[in-house]
Amino acid sequence: MLSSEYDLTTASHMYKTGRYVYVVFMCHMAIEKMLKAIAAEVTGKAPPRTHNLLYLIKLADIKIPQDLFDFVAKINNASVVTRYPEDFNKLIESYPEKVVEEYLKDAERVLKWLKQNEKLKT
């Protein structure tokens, strides 16, 4: 859980410095780590080596509100392109400040909701 919070703080710092692609990347990482923590609690096993947030939601057996789920699906699709961009200039153009500001706010909402999950031991 601390690692997830650290990644979200890093995303916030990246936002302030205009490194918008990395904001999206770090938001994804923060959500991924929180979902993996919940999945580990539910399954009693180490979380799988995956970046697929939708798979982790299913594995953790979480009933996430639709608006949050829609965002998770959206950022899940951004994972591959932010990790392995084919055209970095095009990628930068795809994530202007206003778009990334919404990603950061939505990631904060998702993480706040996930932290309240009864399956997550503190």
Q: What is the pTM of this model?
A: 0.93
Q: Which two tokens stand for residue 13?
A: 């710092």
Helix, strand, or coil here: 122?
coil
Structural contact between residues 111 and 34, judged by C-beta atoms closer than 8 angstroms: yes
Q: How far apart are CA 18 and CA 8, in angstroms?
A: 15
pLDDT at position 121: 67
Helix (H) or strand (E) holding 54: helix 53-60
Q: How far apart are CA 75 and CA 34, in angstroms?
A: 14
Q: Is the pLDDT of residue 13 over 70?
A: yes
Q: Is the pLDDT of residue 106 over 90?
A: yes
Q: How far is CA 45 from CA 59, 83, 92, 99, 110, in A?
A: 11, 26, 37, 36, 23
At 22-75, the pLDDT tens digits run 999 999 999 999 999 999 999 999 999 999 999 999 999 999 999 999 999 999
Q: How far apart are CA 114 and CA 100, in angstroms?
A: 21
Q: Which domains, and CATH codes, for the chain? A: 2-115 (1.20.120.330)
Q: Which two tokens stand for residue 19?
A: 């490194």
Q: How far apart are CA 70 and CA 28, in angstroms?
A: 14
Confidence of residue 122 (pLDDT cuts 50, 70, 90): low
